[in-house]
Amino acid sequence: MTHLPDQGPQPGVHDLGYARLDTDRLERTGDAEVVYGAGKAPAQIVELLRTLHETHPDHAVLATRLSEEAQEAVAAAHPSAVVDPVGRTAVLGTPPVLRGTVAVVSAGTSDAPVAAEAATTARVFGAEVDLITDVGVAGLHRVMGVRERLDAADCLVVVAGMEGALASVVGGLVGVPLVAVPTSVGYGASFGGVAALLAMLNSCAPGVSVVNIDNGFGAGVFAARVARRAAPQEAKDQP
Amino acid sequence: MTHLPDQGPQPGVHDLGYARLDTDRLERTGDAEVVYGAGKAPAQIVELLRTLHETHPDHAVLATRLSEEAQEAVAAAHPSAVVDPVGRTAVLGTPPVLRGTVAVVSAGTSDAPVAAEAATTARVFGAEVDLITDVGVAGLHRVMGVRERLDAADCLVVVAGMEGALASVVGGLVGVPLVAVPTSVGYGASFGGVAALLAMLNSCAPGVSVVNIDNGFGAGVFAARVARRAAPQEAKDQP
Amino acid sequence: MTHLPDQGPQPGVHDLGYARLDTDRLERTGDAEVVYGAGKAPAQIVELLRTLHETHPDHAVLATRLSEEAQEAVAAAHPSAVVDPVGRTAVLGTPPVLRGTVAVVSAGTSDAPVAAEAATTARVFGAEVDLITDVGVAGLHRVMGVRERLDAADCLVVVAGMEGALASVVGGLVGVPLVAVPTSVGYGASFGGVAALLAMLNSCAPGVSVVNIDNGFGAGVFAARVARRAAPQEAKDQP
Amino acid sequence: MTHLPDQGPQPGVHDLGYARLDTDRLERTGDAEVVYGAGKAPAQIVELLRTLHETHPDHAVLATRLSEEAQEAVAAAHPSAVVDPVGRTAVLGTPPVLRGTVAVVSAGTSDAPVAAEAATTARVFGAEVDLITDVGVAGLHRVMGVRERLDAADCLVVVAGMEGALASVVGGLVGVPLVAVPTSVGYGASFGGVAALLAMLNSCAPGVSVVNIDNGFGAGVFAARVARRAAPQEAKDQP
Amino acid sequence: MTHLPDQGPQPGVHDLGYARLDTDRLERTGDAEVVYGAGKAPAQIVELLRTLHETHPDHAVLATRLSEEAQEAVAAAHPSAVVDPVGRTAVLGTPPVLRGTVAVVSAGTSDAPVAAEAATTARVFGAEVDLITDVGVAGLHRVMGVRERLDAADCLVVVAGMEGALASVVGGLVGVPLVAVPTSVGYGASFGGVAALLAMLNSCAPGVSVVNIDNGFGAGVFAARVARRAAPQEAKDQP
Amino acid sequence: MTHLPDQGPQPGVHDLGYARLDTDRLERTGDAEVVYGAGKAPAQIVELLRTLHETHPDHAVLATRLSEEAQEAVAAAHPSAVVDPVGRTAVLGTPPVLRGTVAVVSAGTSDAPVAAEAATTARVFGAEVDLITDVGVAGLHRVMGVRERLDAADCLVVVAGMEGALASVVGGLVGVPLVAVPTSVGYGASFGGVAALLAMLNSCAPGVSVVNIDNGFGAGVFAARVARRAAPQEAKDQP
Amino acid sequence: MTHLPDQGPQPGVHDLGYARLDTDRLERTGDAEVVYGAGKAPAQIVELLRTLHETHPDHAVLATRLSEEAQEAVAAAHPSAVVDPVGRTAVLGTPPVLRGTVAVVSAGTSDAPVAAEAATTARVFGAEVDLITDVGVAGLHRVMGVRERLDAADCLVVVAGMEGALASVVGGLVGVPLVAVPTSVGYGASFGGVAALLAMLNSCAPGVSVVNIDNGFGAGVFAARVARRAAPQEAKDQP
Amino acid sequence: MTHLPDQGPQPGVHDLGYARLDTDRLERTGDAEVVYGAGKAPAQIVELLRTLHETHPDHAVLATRLSEEAQEAVAAAHPSAVVDPVGRTAVLGTPPVLRGTVAVVSAGTSDAPVAAEAATTARVFGAEVDLITDVGVAGLHRVMGVRERLDAADCLVVVAGMEGALASVVGGLVGVPLVAVPTSVGYGASFGGVAALLAMLNSCAPGVSVVNIDNGFGAGVFAARVARRAAPQEAKDQP
């Protein structure tokens, strides 16, 4: 069976056969494309990381949602890559100069993978990270005890499953821009994170925005963009 | 068109034609039947209250979900009735001796009608009530400031719409049995109270139970039963 | 990659690295924290139980939702622990003096694990338990036959899947506070317990409250708090 | 603007311009077509009833879901019609000889309109009706008191809103074929009858079938067809 | 940990420890209890079948939803049992005299297991069965070709997944009582049978009732009860 | 409060202050922009129609979803406009030469407005229309009787509410491309057209595509584009 | 247990015992029946393909949704079959003369299997295919770069998961009939393709129609029927 | 009926009887409390605005979701207030010095009210606003034409209903932090904004965060906080 002939290479696109990388994205948006590992073969992930790294040799490039097999394949093929088994990420290349601070705050032990994905993403996208874990609202003294760290950040990422109340509590304590990440932690009528998602969308605290369930990556991108704008490069370069 | 003949009066049932009252309920459960006013004509509500009052002359009887017309009709027909336009309730007859305390705690101004329904119901069902309003989690100092009143109660009714986080925050502060009432306050993805309902069902604080959206009545019944058991009649009769 | 320095230990928090225990909870709410086993490694569960036991040597501490591997690990590490394979729980330490009675009532054979979790939890939280199984409404004589046991309890936990009608039937028979637990037993349009959950939230019997699907633990905590308030410690200490 | 020419009259179809009646249905299925009044103008309903009556002069014809205006228009145009304001129906023509008995059982006062629609429909479709109202499960003695009437019927129609438990309780008491009708009575998480619908679909009592929310008409048709088959015409013709 | 003492055996209940059989059901409803095999161990199913068979030696008893292991265990323990691997059922004991006819009609090849469960159930509950398969509406000539068999039945069971249109088409062709069974056959927006369920509940053909998704058993019970009433025992006993 | 200055007019956009018309659409896609009347004031609709008409003097322009007030305003302001109160549309300007035929087929009387909107749209977008109404599947002879008209069309639009089975039945009869339009006709578990939408998405007949609930406009656009491609302009220009 | 006797072979049906093929479909609709492989045994698929091939020796016949085992079985039994492991299809027999062009456009790498199924189906049903992959809207230059190929097609199939925005973007660029296929690619609140499905149903671009989630087959059938009508056989026969 | 005595005024709370204002919020979060007008009486809104204005005389205070009556009451009572009938807002007091720029981008005419609410809120919370309307993706040249204005902003608010594709298209064009607001504009399967909400949560463009349906206020707060951090006060004070 015959196809119409392909119309040749396009500018801003690197064609690997099974995927076409958007190599123009760095120039267009300031950030390079990222390898989303779910559903891809380990060998594909290895090659995609290599291609991105070669295209953007002066930037760190990121792969997310890596299976254990993919993590091992990346570590073997790219010995300089930093692989995080908790957040299931790999980073290849020189990290950027970090500007501004993102505080990643999580409610429970089971939220750790999503918090780690957000933290790594925020660093690759150029922000410092303050990671604050296990401050669920069932023990309010834990979140009250870190109020100053929350206030010192340029952007907050709040990660919580179950009823997701942490976003509202934190959002009422400080005026820092806050991105909430609902997680699929829970059972029964949590519906795989829908309960937390709805709670965060309906937060009574003003200024809370939300990303998809378990989307630590998206929250990290967003928060880093906010944080690094808040801290101009000159200011950070000279301390 | 002919019906099969009715098989005559049943014990424990008072037949008004358009409704059959469960007059046995007081003996069976300790509490009389209640008039649910939604969808009933004002004249029917007046007659149902009168019938319940005559059947149980030594108890207070309650009507809920009364339209403005129904409230006026009840006030006109039963001058001794106590009509509450906020909670849309009417009470007829001698209030019981109150035992134990129910604290009814609400998050926002718009939750007032549901909180009032819960409070009136709890009193008619035999418990004292401490009403604590407008302590939403966006200003945590408000709920922290009433911590001792929460701790002093025998049962808590927590009323909140939007993301319903107040139930988790209160449930983490004290060990008092807590019944949460989601309200339909909110818009968009609150889905008429579903967001708050799911949040409360998934509360990370242990020991939170939930009733239907806007069901202040159900929470009031439940909480009064808990509170009056916690305070034996003898103890309360002698101060 | 560097984090901001951690601000040191917080009071009321025991940091194990992968989890931060709320050691203040016992003083704050009267009940110690509990190990929720789902998603945790057996070794973590063993250590969390040990830490809780050492923090609260005079109380029984509880772990729930234990996999078979976790049950075996706990039994091996803590020979004095009581492990229940039906309810998938483990209890370590001296049980409390039991006050008041919780009746745990279940509809069908498949509801047994949730009923067992509720029963064990209620005992660890300080109440006696009367376990009544397999009294589904398709054979009403079964539930009618235990009416006196229902009436004698201080709080009822009603466990049912499918259409969840048992909560309404029991709630209409007696005036005891009733917490309903929908289970995920069923198929098709039961939607993993949603049908039972909605039925229980809409019960026509007054005074029914509800917890999350399969949440025997939450119902047990709630019911024990109600039951032990109903039976003051003095009274129970002197038989 | 021009249409393609219509291809002329079809057999078994009576074309009124705004509607095409299925005049073949009586021969095909044994029952005539019915006028569904929702969304139709009173004058259209009057004409549709007249047309059906003229087509089937020896049968009773039925209109359902009539607004008050439509009821008045039908009563004015067809003085011999029997109009029921509770069930919002009108019947025109000679009722059939009734065979077999349908018991229509309803849970609460607010279910009366749906129960009346089912009862009238069952009679027009040829069955006797025993109407049993207000036997909700919150007072089980009420339904236990009519057990013999339930057992004597050839088919049961059980009408209930809220949690719809009546279908399971009745279905466990007797072995008569049972059609359940969920009603939109309720609020909050009843979702306009969805809670009752799901409960009925998941009934633990075997042999319960279900129709759409508030569909008294459908239940009446179904039950009449069952009942009249159970009682051969000869037997009933000779009392 | 101690339980309150059990209050001894109840009449009408056979207690096997892990399950309490409703041995009174045959007398109460005319049909014996059935073993629902899902989630039960093969040995339990074998024992439950034996107990039911011993309690009702003159009736056939049924087990449904049997895994392959359970089917083998039943065949080994009860050599006289009839095991059907398509419908995943087992029948033990003398079949009843069959009265009336149930036509079980299915749309596609994948609906066969549900159709087989319905057919076996209808026979055990006392009706003859006419099985008509693979008559989906995408080829209307197939269902038109069996119109007479449909018309000859006393009750129809229509089994279909995907869009479930077969129920409406059959319901428009004949006036026989029709029970529709949605199946979980389909993908994407069929939502595990919900699309077919909703279609059947909204059928434009009058007189269609519905059971739960994949509930061939429930449809079989219902249809058999309708069919055997339609054909009095005397008539069938004498040919 | 000051805005940044607007950057002036854009090519291909006509700015009316309250709306910016896409005047480039005709050249880009072959069809002009359309006025969607819902939520717009009658005077705005009049002006938008006039502007479109002036921009495209050689084409017919269309407005949909017109309230009665808007219909009257358009008729008064544009005497040459063709206003259809059933489909709630208005057409202004010279109709195009019609190529190819769209058959618009509807199931019930209440589906007429959506069918009319589809028919008018298809004509404005350049196709002849054959309108076939009231051929619901409860009386199959009606749809069988128009089989040849269905087969003669170049594209079919099938409009149905309730269970939407008509799409599957028609899709099984002929091989013409078929666009299905679910309507919000129905009640209870039809959920405002969702039941029909799901049924159509899951049709067992191959080659059925679907548009949004009540979206007669979208179906008309789509079908006209298919039909006019099927009938080249030359062929139609010479009869 | 005895069945009623089968009433013999029907015209237009080929009975294989476990399935009844609709052999009349080719004559009725112009396209032969297709083997839907999900849930069927490899041996059944092999036999069904053979039967279809023998019935329609002059046409290509198609099997979809083939497991790896089924693909291997088909390749072994029918060496001339073309098996595609990406789209999970097999084609047996002489391909038709292709008329008109379907452009299959997909958003991301993970959408490839659905795009491949659509492409193969469109060819078997008689249209040429232009496959355009990985043109997601996050890099608009990719889709802008293929605008002329989109415009040259007779029908478009747009395949996208996640938010499905590609359908609206393409639909706004060209006036070619467009069938959108939502895929189950995504996570969290994509709900297995529901987010993309809803987006496509609500597209602001006119003339977008939609098929079921992951239904590349249905889109391919539909698009081929549109494309081959647009290109009369004579024209194509003479190059 | 007696309440427990209130425990007197709390710091940081201003009690108006029907509402308790959080007067501490400005100090805690940098922004004053806002009057949410939905469900409040015009006189209450007037008084709440006055109280907020008196508490924070140096800030602008805001009221949202004002009915026409409330808008008139505010204009009459506070002549210096700026009332916007499109966004249904009122602002009282001195506007702050504006820092940074928020671009508010909307897809269609019907999205104007939500865009206006977002724009006014962003200004009251301290950011300049660039309002860009009617750039829906059905005419891509409109959004491409404003690419530079998008790139120049410090934060983007993208407002869209229907399928919400504008968020993905804008998010792929520039790297500015982007908050998406789904609107309830649409019909049928848009489900009051749910389709747009899900699309935005699943955006394939990285760095998109989302607020509740129609929540222009929340997006405005969030975006202003991001924008004013990006532009330090000193820099803006000296042009």
Segments making up each domain of chain F, as ranges: 13-92, 101-236
CA distance G64 to C53: 59
Q: What is the pLDDT of residue H9?
A: 61
Max avg pLDDT among F16-25, G73-82, H21-30: G73-82
The reply to whether C47 touches chain A by the CB within 8 Å rule is no
Count Cα neighbours of E3 within 13 Å in the Cβ-side half-sphere.
Answer: 13
The reply to whether E134 touches chain G by the CB within 8 Å rule is yes
Q: How far does F171 lie from chain G, in Å, by closest CA? A: 9
Query: Which of B2, B15, B16, B20 to mutate against chain D (most D CBs within 10 Å)?
Result: B20
Taking residues B194-215, what's their average pLDDT? Answer: 96
Cα Dmax for chain D: 68
Taking residues C223-236, what's their average pLDDT? Answer: 78
Is the pLDDT at F207 greater than 90? The verdict is: no
Helix (H), strand (E) counts: chain D: 10, 11
- Which of B139, F153, B63, F116 lies closest to H31 in space, CA to CA? B139
The reply to whether G85 touches chain A by the CB within 8 Å rule is no
Lowest mean pLDDT among A24-33, E192-201, F61-70, H10-19: H10-19
Taking residues C225-235, what's their average pLDDT? Answer: 78
Task: Tell me the per-residue pLDDT of E71-80, one tens digit each, with 9 for 90 and over.
Answer: 999 999 999 9
CA distance F116 to D115: 37
> Is the CB of A204 less than 8 angstroms away from the CB of B172?
no
Taking residues G10-39, what's their average pLDDT? Answer: 85
Taking residues F198-208, what's their average pLDDT? Answer: 94
Query: Which of A134, A170, A204 to mutate against chain B (most B CBs within 10 Å)?
Result: A204
Chain A residues touching residue H229 (CB < 8 angstroms): 154, 177, 226, 229-230
The reply to whether C190 touches chain A by the CB within 8 Å rule is no
Chain F residues touching residue D3 (CB < 8 angstroms): 129-131
Q: What is the ipTM of this complex?
A: 0.91
The reply to whether H163 touches chain G by the CB within 8 Å rule is yes
Nearest to G177 among F197, F210, F222 (CB): F222
Q: What is the pLDDT of residue H25?
A: 86
Task: Tell me the per-residue pLDDT of G28-52, one tens digit each, with 9 for 90 and over.
Answer: 888 889 999 998 999 999 999 999 9
Is the pLDDT at B97 greater than 80? The verdict is: yes
> Is the CB of F130 less than 8 angstroms away from the CB of D4?
yes
Chain F residues touching residue D210 (CB < 8 angstroms): none
Task: Tell me the per-residue pLDDT of F91-130, one tens digit each, with 9 for 90 and over.
Answer: 999 888 999 999 999 999 899 999 999 999 999 999 999 9
Print burial letters for A124-152: b (CB count within 10 Å at least 16), e (below 16): bbbbbbbbbbbbbbbbbbbbebbeebbbe
Taking residues G222-230, what's their average pLDDT? Answer: 95
Q: What is the pLDDT of residue C14?
A: 85
Nearest to C179 among B34, B201, B209 (CB): B209
Name all chains with 3 or more CB-CB pairs below 8 Å to chain H.
A, B, F, G
DSSP string, C10-30: PTTEEE-SS-EEETTHHHHHS
Q: What is the pLDDT of residue G154?
A: 97
> How many residues make up chain E in this entry?
239
Pairing relationship of beta strands E89-92 and E61-64 according to DSSP bridges: antiparallel
> Is the CB of E142 less than 8 angstroms away from the CB of G18?
no
Chain C residues touching residue E180 (CB < 8 angstroms): none
Task: Tell me the per-residue pLDDT of H127-148, one tens digit each, with 9 for 90 and over.
Answer: 999 999 999 998 888 899 999 9
Lowest mean pLDDT among A111-125, B130-144, G220-234: G220-234
Q: What is the pLDDT of residue D182?
A: 98
Q: What is the pLDDT of residue F2?
A: 35
Taking residues B151-160, what's their average pLDDT? Answer: 97
CA distance B181 to B164: 9
Is the pLDDT at A237 greater than 70? The verdict is: no
Nearest to C188 among E18, E22, E215 (CB): E215
Q: What is the pLDDT of residue B19?
A: 79
Chain G residues touching residue E82 (CB < 8 angstroms): 1
* Three-state helix/strand/coil letters over E21-86: EECCHHHHHCCCCCEECCCCCHHHHHHHHHHHHHHCCCCCEEEECCCHHHHHHHHHHCCCCEEECC
CA distance F74 to F35: 12
Q: What is the pLDDT of residue F156?
A: 98
> Helix, strand or coil for residue C64?
strand
Taking residues A80-108, what's their average pLDDT? Answer: 95
> Is the CB of B12 less than 8 angstroms away from the CB of D188?
no
> Is the CB of C137 less than 8 angstroms away from the CB of D205?
yes
> Is the CB of A140 less than 8 angstroms away from the CB of B186?
no
Q: Do chains A and F touch (3 or more CB pairs under 8 A)?
A: no
> Is the CB of E25 less than 8 angstroms away from the CB of C139?
yes
Chain G residues touching residue F155 (CB < 8 angstroms): 226
Q: What is the pLDDT of residue A9?
A: 62
pLDDT confidence band for B236 (50 / 70 / 90): very low
Q: What is the pLDDT of residue D8?
A: 54
Task: Tell me the per-residue pLDDT of C62-119, one tens digit each, with 9 for 90 and over.
Answer: 999 999 999 999 999 999 999 999 999 999 998 889 999 999 999 998 999 999 999 9
> Is the CB of D82 less than 8 angstroms away from the CB of B1?
yes
Chain C residues touching residue B172 (CB < 8 angstroms): 28-29
How many contacts, defined by CB atoms under 8 Å, are there between E and G?
A: 66
Task: Tell me the per-residue pLDDT of E152-173, one tens digit each, with 9 for 90 and over.
Answer: 999 999 999 999 999 999 999 9
> Is the CB of C229 less than 8 angstroms away from the CB of B177?
yes
The reply to whether A213 touches chain G by the CB within 8 Å rule is yes
Q: How far does G111 lie from chain H, in Å, by closest CA? A: 13
Taking residues D188-195, what's their average pLDDT? Answer: 95
> Is pLDDT larger for residue F10 or for residue G143?
G143
The reply to whether F193 touches chain E by the CB within 8 Å rule is no
The reply to whether A206 touches chain B by the CB within 8 Å rule is yes
Task: Indicate the CATH number of D101-236 among 3.40.50.2300, 3.30.420.10, 3.40.1010.20, 3.40.50.1970.
Answer: 3.40.50.1970
Chain E residues touching residue C110 (CB < 8 angstroms): 39
Chain C residues touching residue D206 (CB < 8 angstroms): 138
Chain C residues touching residue A149 (CB < 8 angstroms): 4, 7
Pairing relationship of beta strands E178-182 and E155-160 according to DSSP bridges: parallel
Task: Tell me the per-residue pLDDT of H55-81, one tens digit each, with 9 for 90 and over.
Answer: 999 999 999 999 999 999 999 999 999
User: DSSP label at A16?
Assistant: -
Q: How far does C88 lie from chain A, in Å, by closest CA? A: 16
Q: How far does B154 lie from chain C, in Å, by closest CA? A: 8
Mean pLDDT of chain B: 90
Q: Return the residue of B nearest to C231 by Cα.
A: B230
Taking residues H151-172, what's their average pLDDT? Answer: 96
> Is the CB of F134 less than 8 angstroms away from the CB of D19?
yes
Contact E50, E79 (CB under 8 A): no
Taking residues A206-226, what's their average pLDDT? Answer: 96
Chain G residues touching residue H173 (CB < 8 angstroms): 140
Q: What is the pLDDT of residue C233?
A: 52
> Is the CB of A173 less than 8 angstroms away from the CB of H28?
yes
CA distance H121 to D197: 44
Instruction: Please give the share of chain C, as a percent, with pLDDT higher than 90.
Output: 75
The reply to whether A209 touches chain C by the CB within 8 Å rule is no
Q: What is the dihedral of CA H120, H125, H131, H132, to 10 degrees?
A: -120
Q: What is the pLDDT of residue D24?
A: 84
pLDDT confidence band for G233 (50 / 70 / 90): low
Is the pLDDT at E7 greater than 60? The verdict is: no
Instruction: Please give the share of chain C, as a percent, with pLDDT higher than 70.
Output: 92
CA distance B56 to B91: 13
Q: What angle do CA C142, C145, C147 make, to 5 degrees?
A: 115
- Give, for D112, the enclosing helix (H) or strand (E): helix D112-124
Mean pLDDT of chain E: 90
